[in-house]
Structure 1
């Protein structure tokens, strides 16, 4: 498939416009030198709409658009549980986690771990997250993004990755988080409207021009197995999404880790003007998450009827773009690239934040603010170079990259969630107890993977989490230190939320209940 001149023109205008807006919002006031708070936390000035949009833009990338569409093609609507359960997870993060983090004025998640535990925990987790972000997250976004560009335009994969990397650096390297977050509203508008229009075109095509209702009716009638939200043990995909575990099991652990303790996600809420502003942004993001399956999963299901003989499921979304008319195809292509580069920018900014504030500043204290910002920019650039070089060896052989990423991260997330939850809500958790949970997670996950391979990975995540909590409690009690000297005093944290946030919570719960009752 080739883009027409009109498509290319639309795309070029988007690229130039986004870079121009990013540089405009990144300008400094006369006489003000950009410091680490400006660069890494946008000067704690982000409004709710920027926080909500940026949360979604950082999250929805090639990993979701290409990967989840591919899983929709192969598995069906059940994969949407990752999106829909994330909505309620966001509400929990906003009410119970964000007030604790903002009270401590932190830059990074490892910084919180030092405040709560000790320096060892901070360094171990900082190094761990740097490895995951560079070799798992960045590589996945670059590889899947380049795959999409290759399918749509025929551009070589390596050239596609180079373009994506340079584009993300062009609008984010100078301005940092402020440039990323304030331009993400543009990215999300493109993503939502471009994705909705692609879904509309696919359903209208299936409905033989009779509209989306007729198309959706045809889709559900001819492919009823693709609309089971809770898979039975007899399903060939049960190992990926094991029944009720998506509602009451391991998916909670995956989502809490991703939305609550993941630096490149939580960083934009750490940059909020206030707790209330951050919570409004999180509520906004929760409602957008409810909408995402229409954009990232439904096209994959529709592709089963439109292009049924694909070599790989991850080719579903790019192939669907063939049905778009000239001009609008360029707009949807721009929306796809917008999602990719916004995630790249968010990840590289978070990599530079963790490296600079948790590792470099610890080894080289007392340097100027300008120096630390310069180091952060260099790290962003190097992280992308490393990810480009390792993307193909790490991901080239997988046909469902989204599922691969979930299973890989599932080795570590149980311990991370145990480490944070016990650190926030149980005062007797010691540093050794927390480290036992974090390290034990990988060991226990590997043991279960080897000795109980038929256990669905999501069930494994839930089981390992329980064991990690037990291990942390045993080790902490065995040390007989009582309440940790750095324990979080919950009496000092204000967990009260506004009536608007409470109404948003009710709305999200009711919509989720309706969705699962309908597609059970």
Structure 2
């Protein structure tokens, strides 16, 4: 498939317009030099709609659109549990975690860990996050995005990665988080409209191919009738994909640990909420994002199931979404292609900005040049973003080129570390006796125990492994703390000073999410 001249023109206009808007919203008043709060936290001025849209734009990228659609092709709607359970997780983060972070006035997650524990925990976790964001998340988004571009346009994967890297740096490098967050409004609108178009056309094509041309709703009904196994949300132990989504663990087990880590303690996600005008504004943005998460499976999973019916002979599951994009007629394909690139570029920009934030705040200003000026720090942050992107371009193909499903690979790899991360933060939040040594033991123990289970108990589903390692890390941290004397830590958080109460609108929004989730799982249990 190739883009028409009109499609190419539409896409070029989108790219130029986005860069122009990003630079325009990032401009400073005459005489004001951009400082670290401006660059890394958007001057703490983000409204709720920008926070909600930016959370989704940072989250939904190639690994979701391409990778999760590919898993929809292989496993069906069950993979949507990552999206639907995330909606509930967001609300928990907004109510219980975000008030603590905003009260502390932090820039980064490692910074919080020093304020609660000590500098050792901060440095260890800063180095860890820099490595994971660069060599796992950033590399995966670049690779899957370039793969999609190759499928749609025929452009070589290497050139596709270079284009994505240059484009995302081009619109985010000057303005920082403010440029990313405010342009994410455009990105999310484009993503949703383009994604819904692909889903509608795929369902309509199923109706034409297997029915009497009754339209998209008939196509959906045909899918339910022809491939009902693709709509089983909870897998039995004898299911071929049980090891990826082990039954009730997606509702009450290790899935919670994965989601709490991603939505609560992931720098390139939480950074948007840290940049909010106020706590209430951040919570409204999180509620908005939760409802968008409920919609995402329609955009990213449904096309994969449709591809299973229309093109069951695909060589790679990750080709499902780009293949469904081929149904979009010439003239509109440019818009849909722009929507895909919008999602990819937004995530790349978000990740590089967070990498630059952690490197500048937690490594450069902490270890290398504590007296660095604001101007120097912003320059270092921009340089770190460029270096991280270059590294990701170089390692993407060797790391991901031969994998059958990139989304599950990302979950599997990050699952080695997330149990310890969640244990550290939960103990740091809610147990005043937790010590720095116990935090380090939980962090290191998470990786060691996960590797041990991976090597010696390969039949254990990784989500169950995450839950088991989390419990073990919590026990280890508690034992270490009690063995050291179990006195109240001098950096313990005073929860009485934190405002955990939420507005009526937030509570009603939360109730709505819960009721929708109950209805979805009751329908497709």
The interval holding the TM-score normalised by the smaller chain is: over 0.9
1:107 partner SS: coil
Equivalent residue, structure 1, for 2:495: 490
Tell me, yes or no, if structure 1 residue 296 matches structure 2 residue 310: no
Query: Which of the numbers 312, 323, 345 marks the counterpart of 2:316?
Result: 312
Equivalent residue, structure 1, for 2:506: 501
1:106 partner SS: coil
Q: Separation in 2 of the partners of 1:483 and 1:149? A: 55
1:414-425 equivalences under 5 Å are 414-425=419-430
Q: Separation in 2 of the partners of 1:288 and 1:310? A: 30
Q: Separation in 1 of the partners of 2:104 and 2:278? A: 12
Equivalent residue, structure 2, for 1:390: 395
1:482 partner SS: coil
Equivalent residue, structure 1, for 2:463: 458
2:326 partner SS: helix
Alignment size in residue pairs: 520
Q: Separation in 2 of the partners of 1:327 and 1:506? A: 42
Q: If the length of structure 1 is used for normalisation, what is the TM-score?
A: 1.00
Equivalent residue, structure 2, for 1:26: 26
Query: Which of the numbers 353, 372, 390 marks the counterpart of 2:377?
Result: 372
Q: Separation in 1 of the partners of 2:147 and 2:222? A: 30
1:315 partner SS: helix
1:13-92 equivalences under 5 Å are 13-92=13-92
Equivalent residue, structure 1, for 2:111: 111
Moved more, 444-453 or 295-304: 444-453
| 1:414-466: CA deviation from partner (whole Å, max 9, x where unpaired) | 00000000000111100000111111001111111111110100000000000
| 1:91-143: CA deviation from partner (whole Å, max 9, x where unpaired) | 00000000000000000000000000000000000000000000000000000
Tell me, yes or no, if structure 1 residue 227 matches structure 2 residue 219: no
Tell me, yes or no, if structure 1 residue 401 matches structure 2 residue 419: no
Shift of 1:481: 4.3
Q: Separation in 2 of the partners of 1:192 and 1:149? A: 19
Q: Separation in 2 of the partners of 1:185 and 1:519? A: 32
Query: Which of the numbers 322, 328, 339 marks the counterpart of 2:326?
Result: 322
Equivalent residue, structure 2, for 1:252: 256
Q: Separation in 1 of the partners of 2:292 and 2:393? A: 30
Unaligned segments of structure 1, at least 5 residues: none
Shift of 1:29: 0.6
Query: Which of the numbers 410, 417, 442 marks the counterpart of 2:415?
Result: 410
| 1:206-250: CA deviation from partner (whole Å, max 9, x where unpaired) | 111311110001111110110000011111000000000000000
Q: Please identify runs of 4+ aligned residues in structure 1 that moved more than 3 A.
A: none
Q: Separation in 2 of the partners of 1:413 and 1:400? A: 20
Q: If the length of structure 2 is used for normalisation, what is the TM-score?
A: 0.99
Unaligned segments of structure 2, at least 5 residues: none
Equivalent residue, structure 2, for 1:511: 516
1:207 partner SS: helix
Equivalent residue, structure 1, for 2:476: 471
Equivalent residue, structure 2, for 1:352: 356
Equivalent residue, structure 1, for 2:286: 282
